[in-house]
Amino acid sequence: MKFYKKLLIIFVAFLFVGHKTGKKSIYHKDWIDFNKNGVKDIYEDAKAPLEARVQNLISLMNVNEKTCQLTTLYGFARVLEDEMPNDKWKKRVWKDGIANIDEHLNTIWNQEKTHTKYAYPYSTHAEAINTVQKWFVEETRLGIPVDFTNEGVHGLCHERATPLPAPIGIGSTWNKNLVRKAGEIVGREAKALGYSNVYAPILDVARDQRWGRVLECYGEEPFHISEMGKQMTLGIQSQGVASTLKHFAVYSIPKGARDGDARTDPHVAPREMFQLHLYPFQKVIKEAAPMGIMSSYNDYDGVPITASKYFLTDLLRQKFGFNGYVVSDSEAVEYVSEKHRVAKDYKEAVRQVIEAGLNVRTTFRTPESFIEPLRELIAEGAVSINTIDERVADVLRVKFRLGLFDNPYVENPKDADKLVHTNEDQAFSKQINRESLVLLKNENNTLPLNIDNLDNILVTGPLANEVSFTYSRYGPAFNPSVSVFEGIKQYAGNKANVVFEKGCDIVDPNWPGSEIIPTPLSVKEQADIDAAVKKAKQSDVIIAVVGEDEKRVGETKSRTSLGLPGRQFQLVQALYATGKPVVLVLINGQPLTINWENKFLPAILEAWFPSTAAGEVIAETLFGDYNPGGKLSVTFPKAVGQIPLNFPYKPGSQAGQPGAGPNGYGNTRVLGPLYPFGYGLSYTTFEYSDLVVTPTIIKAQANVNVSFKVKNTGHRAGDEIVQLYIKDEVSSVTTYESVLRGFERVPLKPGETKTINFTLQPDDLAIFDKNMNWTVEPGYFEVLVGSSSEDIKLKKQFKVVAVDE
C-alpha cells in the first residue's frame, strides 16, 4: 500500500512539473519548495504554526512581491488578455505574484467576450486553473499561490454551474437549512473548478424599494438577513473555500435610491447604521467567521468607506473581530479622488485606502495601475513598510488557511465533471425556486387551478415566453431554461389547449419618461393588446406574466416609479375587462406598487427572478402540485411617496394622521403597506396555540425559552413560516416597535401539529443605548408570535431585572 501511495505522489509531481531534463522538482512528499532553494522553509512547512508561516514568508519578500499581494488581476477578457500563461507574463507586474485572479475563464452569459472553451467541460476548467496556478508556483521567485475568486450570489458564476434564484427570492424562502445547502453547493462547485474564494453572500439591507439591487439582497430586516447570510457563509466555507461578504458598509441606501453614477451620500443616522446596516455584518462575522469582506464605494457622512480607518480597521477588525482580507468593490479606490474628491489625485487615494485598512484593490483595471503608485508611495516614505507588511499578512493568512501552500492545485480535475451541477443539485435548484414563491392574493380559492376543468388557457404578458430573467451577470451561464408559457404548456400536455400572446413589450419606447409623462398607446401597442384580449375571450383562464426583466432592475438600474413598466398595466386592465379570471404572475426584482391589480384580480403569485426552472415550478404551483409557502422579506409600499416604509420601524414613524382634534384636519396621504414584511399566503390554513415563555423573570445575561404549537387546519400539506418578534416596552432610547428574533419554515401535513421552540439569548434583547453600546436594559419585553410582522397570533410578557434585584 505504501509503495502505491509513493508511486501516486511521484505521478502527481510529474503531472504538474512535466518532464524537464536537468530541472529539479520542487514537489516533495509532504511539502513544496515554493522558493526553489532546496530547503524546507517555515512557510513551506504544513506543521508549522500559521503565524510563524506568515511572518517567515513576509521576511523573505521584497517590496515588489509585497505590493503584488495587494491587488487583483481580473480574469480573461476583463483585464487579463490571455486564457493561459505565456512568455509575456514574465514582463508583466505579476511576474512577482498576485493576490487573486477574479472570474478567470468562468464565462458570463451576456458578455460574449468572456466565452471560453476552458469553462466547460468542468474538468477542462479545473485543469486550466491548475496550469495558471502552476505558473505562479513555479515561475515566480517565492511561488506564492493565487487565490482564485469568483461571484456566487445566484449560484456560482460559471458556465453551467447550479443556478439559484435571485437573492431576494432566496430570502423569501426563510429556509435556513435550504440556504446552508445552497452555500455548500456553491462552495463544492467552486472548489472542484479551482476557485478558492466566493464573493457571497450580499448582506446589504434593502431599505429603499426603488434601488435596483434590491434584487440581490435577502431583504430589508437585519436579523433575517444575518440568519440567511450566516447559513450561506457556513455552507460555502464548509467546503474549504473562502466566503467574502459584501458590501461593507451602508451601501444599500443611496440618497433617493440614486445609483450608477451617484453611489454616494447615504442618509443614515449613526444608531440606525449600527442597528440596521452593520448588524448583519457583525453577526455573521461573529457566528460564521468569513475570510473575506468587500468594501463598498459609497461614503458615510462624508468619508469614503474604502478610505475610512474607522470602518475598515476600528470597526471591522477591532470591534467586530474580522480576521480575513478586504477587497475593494469596483472603482472604490478610484472614487476616493474622482467622485468623493477627498484626495487631490489618484495616488493620494491609494495612500488613503492602504492606511485605512484595505488589503486588495479590485477593479477592471490593470494591476499595474495600483501597484506602481503604491511602490512610489513606499519609496517616498509616504506609506510605511510596516503598514504594507500588515496588509500583506492579512492576505497571506487567508491563503494559508485555505491550504493553498499545502495543496495549491485541484487534486483531481476529472472529478469536477462529477461534482458540479449533479442531478441532485438540479433537483435542489428546483426546490429552492419553489420555496421562493410567495402567494400574495388568492380570492375565493382561485388557485390552485384544476387542469381537468379547463379547456383553453391563455398565457400572456411580455415575460410569459421570456427566459432572460433566469440568468444573471452574477450567476451561471448557458443552463437550459424553461419559460412560464413552455412550463404551463408542458404541464397541461393533452389536457388543455395552451396558447400564448405577448400583449405588449416590457417597456414602451418612451420609458422611463412615460412614467412621469404618460403617452397614448400607439397603433401597434393597441393592436398587440387587442390580440391578447381576443384570445382571452376564447379562454377559460388568463395567466398574465408581467413585471421587470434584467434590463429594468439590477446594479445601477434604480427606478423612479414602482408600477408595472411600459404598457403592462393597460394590458392587465384590458384582460380584466373581458370578465375572465386573471391570474397574475409577477417576475420582478423589487416590490411593485400593484394596488389596482391587488384590488381587482383574484390571484397574484410573486415569483421574483427565478432561475432556469422558472416555467416548471410556476406551473406546478399554479396547478396545485406544489403549495407555495414563501413570505415577503421586504415591505411592498402602495406608492413611492411612502418611501421609506419598512420593517422594523420606530413607534409612530409609520402611523396614520388624526382626522379630528386640535391638530386633526383630515387625511391627506396614503397610509400603510400594500403587503407587510413577513407576509405570504398558502393553499391551506394554520392555527397557533399554547405559547409558553420561561422563565418570566430573568437577569440580563440569561436565556429565555419560547415554545408554541402550530397546526395545519386545512386539507393540503403546506409550509408555515413562523415568526418570533420581540417588543421592548420601555427603553432609554427610542427603539423599534418590534424586531424579528426568530423564524422557522415548518412543513405540516393536513391536521398535523408541531411544537416550535426558540431560545432568546441576551444579544436578542440588546438595544444600542445612549452611549452607543449594545445593552440589555431592565424592563418588560413582549414576545410576539405570528405569520407576519402584522399578523400576530400569540403574545406573552417576560421581565428583565437588574443584577441587584
Cell, residue 581: 379570471
State the sign of the Cα–Cα–Cα–Cα dihedral 388, 389, 393, 394. Answer: negative
Question: In the chain, what is the straight-line distance between the N-terminal and C-terminal CA atoms, in Å?
Answer: 69
Cα distances (angstroms) measured from residue 493 to each of 117, 374, 696? 38, 65, 58
DSSP string, 701-752: T--EEEEEEEEE-SSS-EEEEEEEEEEESS-SS---S-EEEEEEEEEE-TT-
In angstroms and rounded to an integer, the radius of gyration of the C-alpha atoms of the chain is 28
| Alpha carbons 786 and 686: distance in angstroms, whole number | 10
Q: How far apart are CA 543 and CA 91, in angstroms?
A: 60
Sequence-distant (6+) residues with CB within 8 A of 301 are none
CA separation for the pair 689, 701 (Å, rounded)? 28
> How many whole angstroms separate alpha carbon 465 and alpha carbon 255?
36
| Nearest Cα residue to 561 out of 521, 514, 600 | 514
Residues 165, 179: Cα–Cα separation, whole Å: 11
CA dihedral over 268, 271, 276, 278, signed as positive or negative = positive
How far is Cα 320 from Cα 221, in angstroms, rounded to an integer?
20
- Distance (Å, whole) CA 393 – CA 400: 10
Q: At what angle do helices 346-356 and 368-380 cross, to 10 degrees?
A: 80
| Degrees to nearest 5, angle at CA 27 with 23 and 28 | 120
Q: Distance (Å, rounded) from C-alpha 511 to C-alpha 749?
A: 47
Closest to 252 measured CA to CA, from 273, 266, 262, 272? 266
Q: Which residues are catalytic?
A: 329
Of the candidates 464, 507, 470, which has an alpha carbon nearest to the alpha carbon of residue 486?
464
- Whole-angstrom distance, CA of residue 798 vs CA of residue 726: 10
Bridging pattern class, strands 242-248 and 292-295: parallel
Per residue, the 3-state secondary structure of 568-635, as one string, reads HHHHHHHHHCCCCCEEEEEECCCCCCCHHHHHHCCEEEECCCCCCCHHHHHHHHHCCCCCCCCCCCCC
**Nearby residues of 696 by Cβ (< 8 Å), 6 or more positions away:** 797, 798, 799
CB 218 within 8 A of CB 205: no
The C-alpha cell at 232 is 450561506
**457/568 Cα distance (integer angstroms):** 19
All three cell numbers of 51: 503565524
Longest dimension (CA), the chain: 97
Q: Give one DSSP letter per residue of 204-256, joined into a string.
A: -----TTSGGGGGSS-S-HHHHHHHHHHHHHHHHTTT-EEEEEEETT-S--GG
**102 contacts 77 by C-beta, under 8 angstroms:** no
Cell digits of residue 355 = 492606511
Sequential DSSP letters for 638-705: S-GGG-S--SS--TTTT----SSSTT-----S--S-SB-TT--B-SS-EEEEEEEEE-SEE-TT--EE
Locate all alpha helices (DSSP H) within 81-218, ordered by sequence.
122-139, 167-173, 176-193
CA 742/CA 686 separation, integer angstroms: 18
